Amino acid sequence: MVSELTTGQRQMALTFLAMLALLGLFVAAFGRADPIGGHGWLVLVFSLLSLFAVLTNYYDPEPAADRSAAYYDAPVKAGIIIAMIWAVIGMFVGAWVAWLLVNPDLTFVEEAWASFGRLRPVHTTAVIFGFGGNALIATSFYVVQRTSRTRLAGHLSPLFVLWGYNLFCLLAVTGYLWGINQSKEYAEPEWYADLWLVIVWVAYFVLYLRTLARRKEPHIYVANWYYLAFILVVAVLHIVNGLALPLSWAQAKSYSLFAGVQDAMTQWWYGHNAVAFFLTAGFLGMMYYYLPKRAERPIFSYRLSIISFWGITFFYMWAGSHHLHYTALPHWVQTLGMTFSVMLLIPSWASAGNALLTLNGAWHKVRDDATLRFMFIAAVFYGLSTFEGSFMAIRSVNALSHYTDWTVGHVHAGALGWVAMITFGAIYASVPWLWKRKTMWSPALVEVHFWLALAGTLIYVFAMWNSGIIQGLMWRTYNESGTLAYSFLESVEAMHPYYIARAVGGSFFLLGALVACYNIWMTIRAPQPAGALQDDHPQERTDPVLEAGR
C-alpha cells in the first residue's frame, strides 16, 4: 500500500500517525482511571503499528509518474480482505451468542466480557459495520472509479477512510467487551468513537464527491447515487442520534441529549434509516453495478432505478416510528410511520423487480455461475424482506410481531439473504478482476459456499418465523376463564428447539464464510496467468469529446 505513495505523502502519513499516537497517549494518561484509558492504549498501539508499517516500506521505490493512468485498487483490495476478516469474527460471535441462548452456561469463563449482553453488540457491530461497512467502502471505491473512468481523487485519503473506519470498528467492539456502551441499538459506541467516525465519514464524503467531479462520463451512474445517499444520510443520522454530553473529556460515559419519547423517536429514526441507507441504499449501489456487470446485460430499466432511488430516499425517512406502535409515542406519528412503511414497498419492489428482470434472458448464467446466483438470491431476499417489513409495520401485525423473534428473523432475512449474499456475489466478482486472475481459485468452493449460505439462511429464518409467531401467540392467548393462558417462562421453554435450529443455521452461514476466506486466500496466492498483465499498462485513448473538453 505504501508503494503507491510518493515520499511526500509517506512523510505526511508518518506525521499524521505520530500525532494520532500522541493523542492515544494523552487519552491513556488522562483517562487511566476510566475505561477510556484502555482505548487510549488501543489508539496508541494501532497508530504505532501503522507507523511501523509505513517506516519499513519508507525507502521503497516511488510510484511511477503516470500512476494516475491506472485505478487505485490498493484500498479496494485491503478493504475486501478486512471485510472478510470481520465477517468471520462477526458471524462467529453471532453463532456463539446463538448457542448461549440454547445453553446459557456455555460461557466457560464467568467473566463480564464473555456474557451475552456484551457479546451481542459485538456481533451486530462486527457484521453490520465491520463486514458490511468495509465491503461498502471497498466496493464503492471500486465502482466509483470504474463508472467515472477516473482514479480516486487522492492517495492518502482513501487509506485514511479505510483504516480510520476500522479503528472506529475496533474501538466499538473492544468497548462493548470492557463495558462501554451507550445502549442505543446499532449506535452503541460512546461519544469519542462517534466523533472519530464523523471525521472519517467527512473524509469519505469529500473523497467520493471529488472523484465524481473528476469523472470522464457525462452521466453519474445510478450506483453512485445510492452510494452517495448512503454516505450522506448515514452522516446525518449518526450525528443527530449520537448527540450526547460526556461526563468529561477523560471519561467514556456520556448522557444522550434526548430523553424519553423524544429519544425513542430519534433512536428509531436513526435505527430504521441505518437499515435504509446503510443496509439498503449502499448495497443497492453494489447490486446496480455488479449484477449487470456479471450478467453482462445492462440494467432492465434505468428509469425505474431512478424512480426507486428517489422513492427510497424519500419514504424511508418517515418510516422509523413503526418500531414504536402502541407505545407512548403520539398516535398520529405511528400512523404516519405505518403508512409510509407500506408505501415503501413500491420503490423496494421496483428495485428487486428491476434486478430480476435484468437476469431475464440470462437464466442459464444464473444456473451455471454461483457468483451470479448469489446476486440473484440476494434480489429475491431483498424483495421478500421488504415485503415482510412493510407487512410487519402494519399496526395490527406489529402488535403480534413486536418484541418477538419474528423481528430477529426479519432482520436476518435481510442481513443474511440480502446484504451478505449481494456482498459475497460482489466479492467473488471483484477478487479475480482485482488480482488479475481468470476466475476464483475454485469455482466449486463458491458453489459450496452458495449452498451453505442459502441453507443457513433458510434454516435461520424459518426457525425465527416459527418461534416469533409462537411467542407472540402464547403471550396473547387467553384460557376459558379469561386469564392469560401461558406464563412468560412457558414461552421461553417453547423457544428452545427453535433456538437450536437458529444456532445451526447461523453456524452453516459461518462455515460458508470460512470457505469463502479460504477460496479468496488461494485465489490471491495462485500464480498469475501469463499475459493477463498487459491490461495494466496505460494506453493513450483518444476521445474527441474529452479532448474538446480539455
Partner 1 sequence: MFKFHYKLETKAIALVLAIIGVSSIGGLVEIAPLFTIDQTVEEAPDMRVLTPLELAGRNVYIREGCNACHSQMIRTLRDEVERYGAYSRAVESQYDHPMLWGSKRTGPDLARVGNKYSDAWHAAHLINPRTLVPQSVMPAYPWLARTRLRTDDLPLHLTRLRTLGVPYTDAMIANAAADAAGQATPNTDRAWGVAERYGEATNVRDFDGATGAPTELDALVAYLQMLGRQTSIAEEPAAEGGE
Partner 2 sequence: MAIEHDTLVHLSKTFGLFYLIALSVGVLIYAYWPRNKARFDAAARAILNEEDRPCP
Give, as ranges, the residues between 518 and 537 that touch partner 2 (CB under 8 A): 535-536
Q: Which range, of 108-116, 126-134, 289-297, 382-390, touches partner 2 by CB under 8 A?
A: 289-297
- Between CA 313 and CA 67 the distance in angstroms is 37
Site for partner 2 in 30-69 (CB under 8 A): 68-69
Least separation in angstroms between residue 357's CB and partner 2 is 13
Site for partner 2 in 220-239 (CB under 8 A): 221-223
- At 207, list the grid cell: 473523497
- Between CA 491 and CA 29 the distance in angstroms is 49
Return the DSSP state at 550.
Answer: -
Site for partner 2 in 149-168 (CB under 8 A): 149-151
Q: CB of 393 within 8 A of CB of 319? A: yes
- Between CA 441 and CA 74 the distance in angstroms is 20
- With CB under 5 to 8 Å by kind, the binding choice for 292 among partner 1, partner 2, none is partner 2
- With CB under 5 to 8 Å by kind, the binding choice for 70 among partner 1, partner 2, none is partner 2
Least separation in angstroms between residue 302's CB and partner 2 is 4
- At 301, list the grid cell: 430499466
- Between CA 87 and CA 131 the distance in angstroms is 5
- With CB under 5 to 8 Å by kind, the binding choice for 107 among partner 1, partner 2, none is partner 1
Longest Cα separation, the chain: 86
- With CB under 5 to 8 Å by kind, the binding choice for 28 among partner 2, partner 1, none is none
Q: Environment class of residue 108 by beta-carbon count within 10 Å: exposed (0-12), middle (13-18) or buried (19+)? A: exposed
Q: CB of 119 within 8 A of CB of 101? A: no
For partner 1, the closer CB: 13 or 233: 233
Least separation in angstroms between residue 31's CB and partner 1 is 12
Q: Which of 457, 379, 388 is nearest to 422 (CA)?
A: 379
For residue 244, the cross-strand partners are 256
Least separation in angstroms between residue 395's CB and partner 2 is 18
For partner 1, the closer CB: 408 or 526: 408
Q: CB of 118 within 8 A of CB of 177? A: yes
**How many angstroms from the chain centroid is the CA of residue 13?**
27
For partner 1, the closer CB: 265 or 429: 265
- With CB under 5 to 8 Å by kind, the binding choice for 368 among partner 2, partner 1, none is none
For partner 2, the closer CB: 69 or 257: 69
For partner 2, the closer CB: 527 or 549: 549
- Between CA 321 and CA 490 the distance in angstroms is 31
- With CB under 5 to 8 Å by kind, the binding choice for 371 among partner 2, partner 1, none is none
Least separation in angstroms between residue 46's CB and partner 2 is 32
Residue count (the chain): 550
- With CB under 5 to 8 Å by kind, the binding choice for 183 among partner 2, partner 1, none is partner 1
> Three-state DSSP class for 254?
strand
Q: Does 261 bind partner 2 (CB under 8 A)?
A: no
Return the DSSP state at 130.
Answer: I
- With CB under 5 to 8 Å by kind, the binding choice for 264 among partner 2, partner 1, none is partner 1
Q: CB of 16 within 8 A of CB of 6? A: no
Q: CB of 341 within 8 A of CB of 390? A: yes
Least separation in angstroms between residue 339's CB and partner 2 is 10
Residue numbers at the binding site for partner 2 (CB under 8 A): 68-71, 145-147, 149-151, 216-219, 221-223, 289, 292-293, 296-299, 302-304, 306-307, 310-311, 314, 332, 336, 535-536, 538-541, 543, 546
